């Protein structure tokens, strides 16, 4: 296996892999070494997922069939906080709106736009400074997950990364909507 293929493997093990992060490794991933890289991960129960048109790849835990013995989970399922889940939904909606209205491939959003949209769903509080700090923490968490990327040279401006479309699909949105309705009911009762 060549150097670019090994780099692609390492980047995939770290999380989402975007074409723009390493062009040479991307070309190796989608071209020459695709099969051997996919086979490499299959041995340990991981599936390689690539969206060439959007320019990203990631690993997903293989779900064994009825005849297969399951392997221990290598990629743990993460429970996301309400605020992180809400921000993912809002960003996913923003990408959909952007795709319908723009010719550009980059969906961009400012920190202030993110905060404004999140504040609509937060209960009124006496400590506005604390709430804004919590929301900034939420933005950083979504950035760590690989769904937001700070733009260089532009303070407080983010690109919404396209991989979000694979993770926040119709089923995920439906499940979140049900949890949101339960959360609203709790707020109204309490």
The mean per-residue pLDDT over the stretch 15-39 comes to 88
Number of helices followed by number of strands (H, E) in the chain: 8, 6
Residue 118's closest CA among 95, 151, 89, 160?
89
Q: Under DSSP, is residue 50 helix (H, G, I), strand (E, B) or coil?
A: strand
Measured CA to CA, the distance from residue 7 to residue 26 in angstroms comes to 9
Please name which of 109, 103, 101, 102 lies closest in space to residue 164, comparing C-alpha atoms: 109
How far apart are the C-alpha atoms of 92 and 66, rounded to whole Å? 34
- Cα dist. 153→137, 142, 149 in Å? 21, 20, 12
Q: Average pLDDT for residues 2-12, to the nearest whole number?
A: 87
114 pLDDT above the threshold of 90: yes
Residue 69, in any domain of the structure: no
pLDDT at 59 over 70: yes
Average pLDDT score over residue span 17-44: 88
Q: Decide which of 178 and 130 is more confident.
A: 130
Nearest 5 degrees, angle CA 57-CA 34-CA 36? 125
Q: Inform me whether the pLDDT recorded for 105 exceeds 90.
A: no
The DSSP string of 96-146 is HHHHHH-S-S-EEEEHHHHHHHHHTTSPP-S-HHHHHHHHHHHHHHHHHHT
Is residue 168 within 8 Å of 96, Cβ to Cβ?
no
Distance, CA of 57 to CA of 16 (rounded, Å): 6
Q: What local confidence, expressed as pLDDT, does residue 190 receive?
A: 62
- Residues 99 and 57 occupy one common structural domain: no
- Statement to judge: residues 55 and 94 lie in one domain: no
Distance CA 147, CA 160 (A): 6
Residue 187: predicted pLDDT? 67
Collapsing DSSP to helix, strand or coil, 15 comes out as coil
Is residue 116 pLDDT above 70, yes or no? yes
Rounded CA-CA distance 56/37 in Å is 15
**120-147 burial: b if 16+ Cβ within 10 Å, else e:** eeeeeeeeeeebeeebeebbebbeebbb
Asked whether residue 71 is assigned to any structural domain, the reply reads: no
For residue 142, what are the domain limits? 82-189
| Same domain (yes/no): 91, 184 | yes
> What's the domain count of the chain?
2
Whether residue 75 lies inside any domain: the answer is: no
Q: Let me know whether 86 and 158 are in one domain.
A: yes
Of the two residues 52 and 75, the one the predictor is more confident about is 52
Tell whether the model's pLDDT for residue 126 goes beyond 80: no
């Amino acid at each position: 296996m060549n150097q670019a293929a090994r780099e692609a493997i390492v980047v995939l093990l770290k999380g989402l892999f975007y074409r723009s992060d390493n062009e040479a490794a991307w070309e190796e991933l989608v071209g020459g070494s695709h099969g051997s890289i996919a086979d490499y991960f299959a041995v340990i129960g991981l599936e390689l997922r690539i969206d060439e048109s959007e320019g990203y790849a990631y690993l997903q835990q293989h779900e064994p069939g009825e005849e297969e013995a399951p392997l221990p989970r290598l990629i743990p399922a993460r429970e996301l906080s309400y605020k992180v889940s809400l921000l993912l939904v809002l960003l996913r909606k923003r990408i959909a709106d952007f795709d319908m209205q723009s010719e550009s491939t980059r969906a961009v959003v400012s920190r202030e736009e993110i905060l404004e949209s999140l504040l609509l769903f937060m209960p009124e509080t006496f400590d506005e400074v604390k709430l804004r700090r919590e929301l900034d923490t939420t933005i950083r968490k979504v950035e760590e997950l690989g769904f937001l990327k700070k733009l260089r040279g532009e303070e407080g401006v983010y690109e919404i990364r396209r991989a979000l479309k694979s993770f926040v699909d119709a089923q995920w949105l439906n499940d979140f909507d049900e949890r949101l309705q339960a959360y609203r009911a709790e707020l109204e009762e309490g």
